[in-house]
A and B are shown apart, each in its own frame.
Chain A
Amino acid sequence: MTRKMVTIDGNDAAAYIAHKTNEICAIYPITPSSNMGELADAFSAQGRKNIWGTIPTVEEMQSEGGAAGAVHGALQTGALTTTFTASQGLLLMIPNMYKIAGELTSTVFHVSARSLAAQALSIFGDHSDVMATRATGWGMLAANSVQEVMDCALIAQSATLQTRVPFIHFFDGFRTSHEVMKIEQLDDDDIRGMIDDEWVIAHRNRGMNPNHPVLRGTAQNPDVYFQGRETVNPYYEAAPELVQRTMDRFAKIAGRKYNLFDYVGAEDAERVIIIMGSGAETVEETVTQMIADGEKVGMVKIRLFRPFSIKHFISALPASVKKIAVMDRTKEPGGAGEPMYQDVLTAFAEAKTEDYYQFDDMPTIVGGRYGLSSKEFTPGMIKGVYDNLNNEKPKNHFTIGINDDVSFTSLDYDANYRTSKGKVFRGLFYGLGSDGTVGANKNSIKIIGEGTENFAQGYFVYDSKKSGSTTTSHLRFGKDEIKSTYLIDQANFIACHQYELLEQFDILDKAEEGATFLLNSHLNKDEVWGGLSRKYQKQIIDKKLKFYVIDAVTVARETGMGMRINTIMQTCFFAISGILPKDESIAKIKEAIFKTYGKKGDAVVEKNYTAVDQSVSNLFEVNVPDTMTGSDALRLIVPEAAPEFVQKVTAEIIAGRGDDLPVSAMPNDGTWPTATTQWEKRNIALEVPVWEPDICIQCNKCAMVCPHAAIRPKIAGEDAFKDSPETVKHVNAKGKEWETGSQYILQVAVEDCTGCNLCVEICPARDKSNLSRKAINMADQRPLREAERANWDFFMELPEVDRAAPKHTTVKGSQLLQPLFEFSGACVGCGETPYVKLTSQLFGDRMIIANATGCSSIYGGNLPTTPWATNKEGRGPTWNNSLFEDNAEFGLGYRLTIDKHLEHAKELMILLKDDIGNELVTSIANASQANEPEIFEQRMRVKQMTDIVEKLDSPLGRQLLSVADNLVKKSVWIMGGDGWAYDIGYGGLDHVLASGKNVNILVLDTEVYSNTGGQKSKSTPLGAVAKFAAAGKPSGKKDLGMMAMSYKNVYVASVAMGSNDAQTVRAFMEAEAYEGPSLIIAYSQCIAHGIDMAKGMDQQKLAVESAYWTLYRYNPMLAIEGKNPLTLDSKPPKRHVKEYAMNETRFTILSRIDPKLSEKYIEASDVAAKEKYDYYAKLAAISYDEA
Chain B
Amino acid sequence: MRLSTNYMGLELKNPLVPSASPLTEKLDKIKILEENGASAVVLFSLFEEQIEQEDSSIEHFMDYGTDSYAESLSFFPKAHEYVSGPQDYLENLRKIKEGVDIPIIASLNGATPGGWMQYAKKIQEAGADGLELNIHYLPVDFNETSADVEKRYTDIVSWVKSNVDIPVAVKIGSRFSSLPAMAKALEGVGADALVMFNRFYHPDIDLEKLETKRQIHLSHSRDIRLPMRWISILRGNVKLNFAASGGVHSAKDVLKLIMSGADVTMLTSALMAYGPELIKTIEADLITWMDENEYQSISQMKGSMSLIHSPKPQTLVRDNYMRTLLDFQANNKF
* Interface residues, chain A, with chain B CB atoms under 8 Å away: 31-32, 34-35, 38-39, 41-42, 45-46, 123, 174, 178, 432-434, 436-439, 442, 460, 462-463, 465-466, 469, 471, 562, 597, 599-604, 606-607, 766, 771, 827, 858, 1010-1014, 1025-1031, 1087-1088, 1090-1092, 1145-1146, 1148-1149, 1152-1153, 1155
Is A1153 a contact partner of B82 (Cβ separation < 8 A)? yes
Say yes or no: is B51 at the interface (Cβ < 8 Å to chain A): yes
A827 and B82 contact, CB distance less than 8 A = no
How far is it, in angstroms, between the C-alpha of A1014 and the C-alpha of B118 when the chains are bound? Answer: 36
Supposing A606-B115, A1087-B64 touch, asked if A463 and B69 sit within 8 A by C-beta, the answer is yes
Q: Which listed segment binds A: B16-24, B53-61, B136-144? A: B53-61
In the complex, the answer to whether A1090 meets B62 with C-beta atoms within 8 Å is yes
- Which residues of A sit under 8 angstroms from B65, Cβ to Cβ? 433-434, 827, 1087-1088
Q: A32-B70, A1027-B77 provided; 6 other pairs, C-beta below 8 A? A: A31-B71, A34-B71, A45-B77, A439-B67, A599-B84, A602-B115
A736 to B117, CA, bound (A): 62
Q: Are B67 and A1011 in contact (CB under 8 A)?
A: no
CB pair A603–B79 under 8 Å, yes or no, is: no
Residue of B nearest to A44 (CB): B79
A1172 to chain B, nearest CB (A): 27
Interface residue? B285 (CB, 8 A): no
CB < 8 Å neighbour of A1011 from B51, B58, B62, B71? B71
Please, which residues of chain B bring their CB within 8 A of the CB of A45? Answer: 77, 79-80
Distance between B324 CB and nearest chain A CB, rounded to angstroms = 40
**A1012-B71 contact, Cβ under 8 Å, with A41-B79, A599-B84, A771-B210:** yes
Q: How far is the CB of B216 from chain A (nearest CB, A)?
A: 16
Interface presence of B281 (CB below 8 A): no
What are the residues of chain B within 8 A of A1025 when measuring CB–CB? 76-77
Residues of B within 8 A of A442 (CB): 67
* In contact, B76 and A1010 (Cβ under 8 angstroms): no
- Give the complex CA separation of A438 and B63 in angstroms: 12
Most buried by A among B70, B83, B84, B88: B70
Q: Report which of A599, A1012, A1091 forms a contact with B81, defined as CB distance below 8 A.
A: A599
A1013: which of B55, B71, B119 is its contact (CB, 8 Å)?
Answer: B71
Contact A597 B62 (CB under 8 A): no
Partner of B69 from the list A462, A1026, A1152 (CB cut-off 8 Å) is: A462
From B205, which residue of chain A is reached at the shortest CB distance? Answer: A771
With A41-B79, A600-B59, A1025-B77 as known contacts, state yes or no: A462 contacts B70, CB within 8 Å. yes
Q: How large is the interface on B (under 10, 10 to 19, 20 to 34, 35 or more residues)?
A: 35 or more
Inter-chain contact A1149/B79, CB cutoff 8 Å: no
- CB of A766 within 8 A of CB of B67, answer no
Contact B62 A460 (CB under 8 A): no
List chain A residues, Cβ under 8 A from B55.
597, 600-601, 603-604
Complex Cα spacing A1030 to B79, Å = 6
Q: List the 7 closest A-B pairs by CB distance, nearest first.
A: A433-B68, A45-B79, A1030-B79, A1013-B72, A438-B67, A1090-B61, A1014-B75
B306 CB to closest chain A CB (Å) equals 41
Contacts A42-B79, A1030-B79, A1153-B80; is A1014 near B70 (CB within 8 Å)? no
Q: Within 8 Å CB of A1091, what residues of B?
A: 61
Would A1145 and B76 be within 8 Å (CB), given that A600-B84, A601-B84, A603-B52 are in contact?
yes
Distance (Å) between the CB of A650 and the closest chain B CB? 20
> What are 13 A-B contacts with C-beta separation under 8 Å?
A39-B78, A439-B67, A460-B67, A462-B70, A602-B118, A602-B119, A603-B51, A603-B114, A607-B115, A1088-B72, A1088-B75, A1148-B58, A1152-B85
Q: Which residues of chain A come closer than 8 Å to B69, judged between CB atoms?
A: 433, 462-463, 465-466, 469
B87 within 8 A of A: yes
B254 vs chain A, min Cβ distance (A): 35
Q: Enumerate chain A residues within 8 angstroms of B310, measured Cβ to Cβ.
A: none
Number of A-B residue pairs with CB-CB distance less than 8 Å in the complex they form: 154
What CA separation (Å) do A1012 and B82 show in the bound complex?
Answer: 23
B67 — nearest CB in chain A belongs to which residue?
A438
Closest-CB distance, B326 to chain A (whole angstroms): 44
Known: A603-B52, A1090-B64, A1149-B62. A1012 touches B72 (CB 8 A): yes
Contact partner of B61 among A123, A1013, A1145, CB < 8 A? A1145
Contact status B84-A436, CB under 8 Å:
no
Bound Cα distance from A604 to B50, whole angstroms: 11
CA distance in complex: A165, B254 (Å): 84
Task: Give the chain B neighbours of A1026 by CB distance below 8 A.
Answer: 76-77
Taking a contact as CB atoms closer than 8 A, the residue among B67, B76, B88 that contacts A1090 in the complex is: B76
C-alpha gap A1106/B66 in the complex (Å): 30
Let me know if B250 is at the binding interface, CB within 8 A. no
Contact pick for A1149, options B58, B67, B211, CB 8 Å:
B58
B190 CB-CB contact with A under 8 Å? no
**B78, A38: Cβ atoms under 8 Å?**
yes
Q: Which of B67, B71, B77, B82 contacts A1028 (CB 8 A)?
A: B77
Judged by a CB distance under 8 angstroms, whether B73 is at the interface is yes
Interface mask (B238-250 → A, CB under 8 Å = 1, otherwise 0): 0000000000000
Shortest beta-carbon distance from A124 to chain B in Å? 8
Q: Say yes or no: A434-B62 contact (C-beta < 8 A), given A599-B87, A766-B210.
A: no
- Identity of the chain A residue whose Cβ is nearest the Cβ of B121 in the assembled complex: A602
Judged by a CB distance under 8 angstroms, whether B116 is at the interface is yes
Chain B contacts for A1013, CB-based, 8 A: 71-75
A432 proximity list for chain B (CB < 8 A): 68
Does B103 reach chain A (CB closer than 8 Å)?
no
Task: Identify which of A46, A1145, A1148 gathers the most chain B CB atoms within 10 Å of its CB.
Answer: A1145
Q: Which residues of B contact A34 (CB under 8 A)?
A: 71
B232 to chain A, nearest CB (A): 40
In the complex, how many angstroms separate the beta carbon of A557 from the nearest chain B beta carbon? 14
**Which of B59, B61, B79, B210 is A597 in contact with, Cβ under 8 Å?**
B59
Contact in complex: B210, A1152 (CB < 8 Å): no
A447 to B203: give the CA distance in the assembly, Å. 50
Q: Which residues of B contact A433 (CB under 8 A)?
A: 65, 67-69
Interface centre among A38, A602, A1153 (most CB of B within 10 A): A602
Closest to B51 in A: A603
Interchain CB contact under 8 A, A434 and B71: no
